[in-house]
């Protein structure tokens, strides 16, 4: 970013963060847990959009744990020798992840490792880290920074509003995952949380959709790409204007003469329009006179149409706006 700022180069960043999973009451547990385990353990959790922790209804914690253990065994049978399960990328990160588990145990959290560790070989030590669940974690290190590994802390909640408040009290994540039917619960989460992207009833697959934007917000990144958003991010929108041979441009440039006065007189007669004239200085570069046209139009009508033809106003996002010319039009719709 320093190099980009020194050279005035725009930057799009997807950084990661602690991406939460919310499981609403009433979800089909097996399907839900299988999809969470897949997203968490793909590349041993070493993806920027991996689920970082799971918010589970407090009365379903033990059921979730049992289902997660079972689904991991199905995804990666005999995990110590399973070629489908990835190793941690290097010794530094293996030590970091092992340290997170040691810190959690030391501070009273319950750590559940799934599977059997491979046999030790001093000549070629393994960096295969077993999938792990962490329960009853509060201020442990595993709850502070992005995990980026096969460790899934479980956070209980009573009401869905509590889960939303927990997420909103932390930095904005790159991804958010919600499991639950269409209804007020889903709407609550979508409307009251902020994240880079969302997948509903699955994990990580929003990244693979080329027709929706992907990117972070806040500490999880800035900007977006993929599909149309990617084209806009990687391109420059160059505006080109060519003046027509027949136009009213000279009428509205100083010195203001009879044609301009005739234009003002004409606009006074337009249906539903009211004109106020004033003068000012310094508000418009290159002009020592500001003419303010204030049109009060109940429903637009011919006044707005005439001004569009004259080039004094434009319609943007459904609203009539003045163009920053030497004659500035300010249009207020009732």
Residue range 199-250, pLDDT digits in tens: 999 999 999 998 999 999 999 989 999 988 999 999 988 999 998 888 777 7
Half-sphere exposure of 169 (CA within 13 A, CB side): 8
89: left (phi over 0), alpha (psi -120 to 50) or beta: alpha
Structure tokens given for 260: 């301009």
Measured CA to CA, the distance from residue 229 to residue 243 in angstroms comes to 31
Tell me the three state secondary structure of residue 315.
Answer: strand
Element (H, E) at 293: strand 291-297
Separation between Cα atoms, residue 135 and residue 141, nearest integer Å? 13
- What residue ranges define each of the domains in the chain, with the CATH number in brackets? 2-233 (3.40.309.10), 249-333 (no CATH)
Highest mean predicted confidence (pLDDT) among 203-207, 270-274, 282-286, 313-317: 203-207
Pinpoint the alpha helices (H) of 111-226.
Answer: 160-168, 184-192
Lowest mean pLDDT across 41-55, 187-201, 242-256: 242-256
| The model's pTM | 0.74
Backbone angles phi, psi at 260, to 5 degrees: -65, -45
Beta strands 19-23 and 13-14, pairing class: unpaired
* Residue 249 to residue 53: CA distance in whole angstroms: 61
Higher pLDDT among residues 268 and 238, named by residue = 238
Element (H, E) at 36: helix 29-41
pLDDT in tens, 47-59: 999 999 999 999 9
The model's confidence at residue 9, banded by pLDDT at 50, 70 and 90, is confident
**CA nearest to 150, candidates 39, 18, 64, 57:** 39
pLDDT value at position 126?
Answer: 84
Instruction: Over range 65-79, report the average pLDDT.
Output: 96
């Amino acid at each position: 970013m320093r190099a980009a700022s020194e050279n005035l180069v725009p930057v799009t960043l997807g950084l990661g963060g602690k991406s939460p999973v919310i499981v609403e009451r009433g979800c089909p547990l097996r399907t839900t847990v299988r999809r969470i385990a897949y997203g968490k353990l793909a590349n041993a959790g070493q993806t920027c959009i991996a689920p970082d922790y799971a918010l589970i209804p407090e009365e379903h914690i033990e059921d979730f744990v049992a289902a997660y253990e079972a689904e991991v065994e199905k995804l990666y049978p005999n995990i110590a020798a399973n070629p489908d399960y990835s190793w941690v990328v290097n010794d530094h990160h293996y030590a970091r992840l092992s340290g997170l588990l040691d810190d959690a145990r030391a501070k009273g959290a319950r750590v559940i490792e799934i599977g059997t560790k491979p046999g030790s070989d001093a000549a070629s030590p393994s960096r295969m880290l077993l999938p792990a669940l962490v329960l009853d974690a509060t201020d442990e290190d595993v709850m502070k920074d992005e995990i980026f590994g096969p460790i899934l802390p479980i956070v209980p909640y009573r009401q869905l509003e509590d889960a939303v408040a927990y997420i909103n009290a932390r930095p904005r994540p790159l991804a958010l995952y919600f499991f639950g039917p269409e209804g007020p619960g889903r709407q609550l989460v979508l409307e009251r949380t902020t994240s880079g992207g969302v997948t509903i009833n699955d994990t990580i697959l929003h990244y693979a959709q080329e027709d929706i934007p992907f990117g972070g917000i806040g500490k999880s990144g800035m900007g977006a790409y993929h599909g149309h958003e990617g084209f806009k991010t990687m391109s420059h929108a160059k505006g080109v204007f060519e003046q027509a041979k027949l136009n009213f441009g000279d009428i509205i440039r100083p010195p203001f003469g009879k044609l301009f006065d005739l234009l003002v007189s004409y606009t006074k007669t337009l249906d539903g329009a009211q004109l106020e004239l004033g003068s000012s200085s310094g508000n418009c570069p290159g002009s020592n006179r500001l003419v303010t046209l204030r049109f009060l139009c109940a429903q637009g009508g011919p006044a707005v149409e005439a001004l569009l033809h004259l080039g004094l106003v434009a319609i943007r996002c459904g609203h009539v706006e003045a163009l920053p010319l030497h004659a500035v039009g300010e249009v207020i719709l009732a």
